[in-house]
Chain A
């Protein structure tokens, strides 16, 4: 079998242990779902956790429930997950794309503050795939402007911010259990919150029991996979750290690519490998991606195109995207995750150096 090196995590929980958990539940599939909810609640140090069929629909549900009824717009970054504007569409809101911070690449609190208007129904803050957004400032803007906020934290399982676990901040943090993410449930998503009323509504929403909702329950076997993945998360992160360190060492003498660094003072998952193609590099980011893809390395352009450059069938607005436009052609996502070895990293970096020499 040809080995595919991609930007997905692809963690495989131990099969024997997975089957032993299945045996233990003896056909009690609801028990598996309940156990996962409880385990995630403890893990994220949050009061409530509600599971959904996918992270995408967990975001839609959270946005539907949290939005202010008098508004019609949601503030979100443009430099983010390619389907986030579609989340806004199904949530019945018009996306207003705002800029990111040039250092963290996270949604800029200043841009959010400037974009808030009487039409703003929700702030959808997104943690970038390396590091976190400025949670305190975003929550402060939410409070002072009286606009609810939710956090898209699908790439931030296991991370801490100021020593506090992502998922424990309270207003509503949404995670994914897709195979490409840190916790592999194959499919699935969940919302962590400390708000009982919000949690109760999320529970009704996922059962299709709230007005305007659809049943969005997690498949019990997806929950089983996620439960065992959570059990093995330290092993998963250990491997990711080895891969990050390998890239760090390999690219140390290659200044044309600058690795985005995780916040060492915090707990990190080291899952995603993002590098900046510096301004005076001998190649462009796009040329490098094409070259690697042609050679079987599934590297990706980082959040490309940004959402404001895509065609949507529904209305969108944008507000001052200077940094996003400057950054959108610079970053590359390199292969990562459980199927990538230290030798693979060495081979990929050799390939990149070879490509640079040819230019």
Chain B
């Protein structure tokens, strides 16, 4: 994006902020962003978070009953996220594909898989022994590859990647159909934008600002 287009884009959003006269948490632009992107993707819940890493932190920690976390692929961010969350290294395993991960899952201890790649082998079908394992899939917002394979499915979309933004405009969305889990995401994010108070491991100030919402709303609307 050239500098004039970038400046014009930012100016448009700033004009909207002042027109709304709302600068604090979970205002009209954040609400519209979440509603628009949820409708566009067909998920019951879209929870916008201020960065991909904080979204991943929330996604992993909201599954508070999980045993170990299995990663398919080699996302270097996960060990740091687990360290921040107070998990020890023995709770974390890397696997190449769903087949080898499934063997570990069948021990009954591991209930959460994270994947950020496309080459993950054959995913279980709903109804299979391992389809009740929760999956967090890092993906593009147009391609929820394993959504149909898992009863407990969360998609995490890095907005910078999804819209090919080459500046430090962070932002992410956690998508899911499970209303209880989505409420945990919202409560971990902040007290703003929640529907009700639910117990979570800890809150973490992952608020998505009105500027972030206004900017990414433009991208979403342009791609509808």
Known: A8-B24, A214-B80. A15 touches B14 (CB 8 A): yes
A221 CB-CB contact with B under 8 Å? yes
Q: Which one of A85-93, A133-141, A253-261 is at the interface?
A: A85-93
Partner of B202 from the list A15, A86, A214, A217 (CB cut-off 8 Å) is: A86
Instruction: Determine the residue in chain A with the shortest Cβ distance to B188.
Output: A86
Q: Does A301 contact B (CB under 8 A)?
A: no
Classify the secondary structure of A's interface with B. loop
> Are A219 and B169 in touch, CB under 8 angstroms?
yes
A178 to B26, CA, bound (A): 13
A5 at the interface (CB under 8 A from B): no
Structural contact, A179 and B24, CB atoms closer than 8 A: yes
Q: Which of A19, A92, A178 contacts B11 (CB 8 A)?
A: A19
Residue of A nearest to B212 (CB): A219
Shortest CB-to-CB span from A187 to chain B, Å, is 5
Interface residues of A in 191-238 (CB under 8 A from B): 208, 211-217, 219-222, 225
A142 interface residue (CB < 8 Å to B): no
Given the contacts A27-B7, A54-B50, A187-B50, A313 and B199 also touching, CB distance less than 8 Å: yes
Q: Of residues 1 to 54 in A, which have CB atoms within 8 Å of B's CB atoms?
A: 1, 8, 10, 12, 15, 18-19, 22-23, 26-30, 33, 53-54
How many angstroms from the CA of A220 to the CA of B165 in the assembled complex?
14
Residue of A nearest to B167 (CB): A29
- Cross-chain contact A222 with B209 (CB below 8 angstroms): yes
Q: Is A144 in the interface zone, CB < 8 Å from B?
A: no
A186 is an interface residue with CB less than 8 A from chain B = yes
How many whole Å from B12's CB to the nearest CB in chain A? 11
Complex: chain B residue closest to A186, CB-CB: B209
Tell whether A240 is near chain B: CB-to-CB under 8 Å. Answer: no
Q: Which residue of chain A has its CB nearest to the CB of B211? A: A221
Given A22-B7, A186-B211: A313 touches B202 (CB 8 Å cut-off) = yes
Contact B203 A83 (CB under 8 A): yes
CB atoms of A180 and B24 under 8 A apart: yes
Pair B10/A221 contact, Cβ less than 8 Å: yes
Does B4 contact A83, Cβ atoms closer than 8 Å? no
Q: Give the chain B neighbours of A8 by CB distance below 8 A.
A: 24
Interchain CA distance A329-B184 in the complex, whole Å:
29
Q: Chain B residues with Cβ under 8 A from A57's Cβ?
A: 205
Question: Which residues of chain A are near B123, meaning CB under 8 Å?
Answer: none
Interface string of B182-216 (1 = CB under 8 A from A): 00000000000000000111111101011110010
Q: Which residues of B contact A180 (CB under 8 A)?
A: 24
Cβ of B134 < 8 Å from any Cβ of A? no
Q: What 1/0 flags go to B47-85 for Cβ under 8 Å of A?
A: 000110110010000001000000000000100110111
- By a CB distance below 8 angstroms, the chain A residues around B211 are 186, 219, 221-222, 225
Report how many residues on chain A are interfacial, defined by Cβ distance under 8 Å. Answer: 49
Q: Does B224 interact with chain A (Cβ within 8 Å)?
A: no
Q: Are B50 and A214 in touch, CB under 8 angstroms?
A: no
A223 to B134 CA separation, bound complex (whole angstroms): 38
- Taken together as a complex, chains A and B put the C-alpha atoms of A56 and B166 apart, in Å, by 26
In the complex with contacts A10-B24, A187-B209, A208-B53, A314-B202 CB distance below 8 A? yes
A311 at the interface (CB under 8 A from B): yes
Q: How far is the CA of A359 from the CA of B53 in the complex (A)?
A: 52
Q: Which residue of B lies closest to A314 (CB)?
A: B202
- A211's closest neighbor in chain B, by CB? B80
Does A184 have its Cβ within 8 Å of any Cβ on chain B? yes
Give the residues in chain A near B223, CB-CB below 8 Å.
none
A92 & B86 in contact (Cβ 8 Å cutoff): yes
Contact residues in B for A12 (Cβ distance below 8 Å): 18, 21, 23
Find out whether the CB atom of A56 lies under 8 angstroms from the CB atom of B4: no
Shortest CB-to-CB span from A70 to chain B, Å, is 18
* Contact yes or no, B204 A86, CB < 8 A: yes
A56 near B204 (CB under 8 angstroms)? yes
Alpha-carbon distance A312/B2, docked complex (angstroms): 48
Residue of B nearest to A210 (CB): B80
**Whole-angstrom CA separation of A342 from B80 in the bound complex:** 50
**Structural contact, B209 and A26, CB atoms closer than 8 A:** no
Which residues of chain B are within 8 angstroms of A211 by Cβ–Cβ distance? 80
Task: Give bound CA distance, A312 to B23, whole Å.
Answer: 30
CA distance A178 to B215 in the complex (A): 18
User: A97 CA to B169 CA in the complex, in Å?
Assistant: 37
Residues of B within 8 A of A90 (CB): 84-85, 202, 204
B135 to chain A, nearest CB (A): 22
What's the nearest-Cβ distance from chain B to residue A202, in Å? 16
Task: Give bound CA distance, A38 to B78, whole Å.
Answer: 33
> In the complex, what residues of A have CB within 8 A of residue B170's CB?
53, 215, 217, 219
Question: How far is the CB of A230 from the nearest CB of chain B, in Å?
Answer: 16
Per the bound structure, the CA–CA distance linking A90 and B204 in Å amounts to 8
Chain A residue at smallest Cβ distance from B201 = A313
Other than A92-B86, A219-B170, give 18 A-B pairs with Cβ distance below 8 A: A8-B24, A15-B18, A22-B7, A27-B4, A29-B168, A56-B204, A85-B202, A89-B86, A89-B201, A90-B84, A186-B23, A187-B207, A187-B209, A208-B80, A214-B54, A214-B57, A221-B211, A222-B209
17 contacts between A and B (CB under 8 A): A10-B24, A12-B21, A23-B7, A54-B205, A54-B207, A57-B205, A83-B203, A86-B202, A90-B204, A92-B86, A180-B24, A184-B23, A186-B209, A214-B77, A217-B170, A311-B199, A313-B201
